[in-house]
């Protein structure tokens, strides 16, 4: 497990500590079986948190950015895949911006898929 202080990555997902959730962001209340899916994967190996003390907020201007408010002591982000998995990341209490990696192609920008 890797505990990050200010910034860290788990595959194609970057976590950065920020001061606050932007006012335009809206809280997302849906969970899959008590699991908060931080980023969905094209193959079902989601990056997820099983901690009820975490709230997620969506950025309305950019679908590849969201925010996490870790209200408890910490939250562990687990990469759910049985092989070639990324190490679990521990986020301390606070507010975190989550960004999906992007890449440029001749057709334009697209989300990186790991």
List Cβ neighbours of 102 (8 Å cut-off, separation of 6 or more).
64, 109, 110, 111, 112
pLDDT of residue 25: 95
pLDDT of residue 44: 60
Using alpha carbons only, what angle is made at residue 87 by residues 83 and 92, rounded to the nearest 5 degrees?
150
Helix, strand or coil, per DSSP, at residue 11: coil
pTM reported for the whole predicted model:
0.81
pLDDT of residue 27: 93
pLDDT of residue 40: 65
pLDDT of residue 112: 57
**What's the structural domain count of the chain?**
1
Residue 60 belongs to what domain range? Answer: 2-111
Low-confidence ranges of the chain (pLDDT < 70): 30-33, 40-45, 81-85, 102-105, 108-114
Phi and psi, residue 64, nearest 5°: -95, 10
């Amino acid at each position: 497990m890797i505990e990050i202080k200010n910034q860290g990555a788990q595959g194609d997902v970057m976590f950065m500590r920020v001061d606050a959730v932007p006012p335009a962001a809206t809280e997302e209340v849906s969970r899959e079986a008590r699991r908060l899916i931080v980023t969905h994967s094209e193959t079902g190996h989601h990056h997820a948190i099983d901690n009820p003390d975490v709230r997620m907020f969506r950025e309305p201007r950019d679908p590849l950015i969201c925010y996490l408010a870790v209200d408890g002591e910490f939250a562990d982000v687990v990469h759910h895949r049985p092989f070639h998995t990324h190490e679990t990341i521990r986020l301390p209490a606070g507010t975190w911006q989550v960004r999906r990696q992007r890449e440029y192609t001749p057709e334009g920008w697209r989300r990186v898929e790991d």
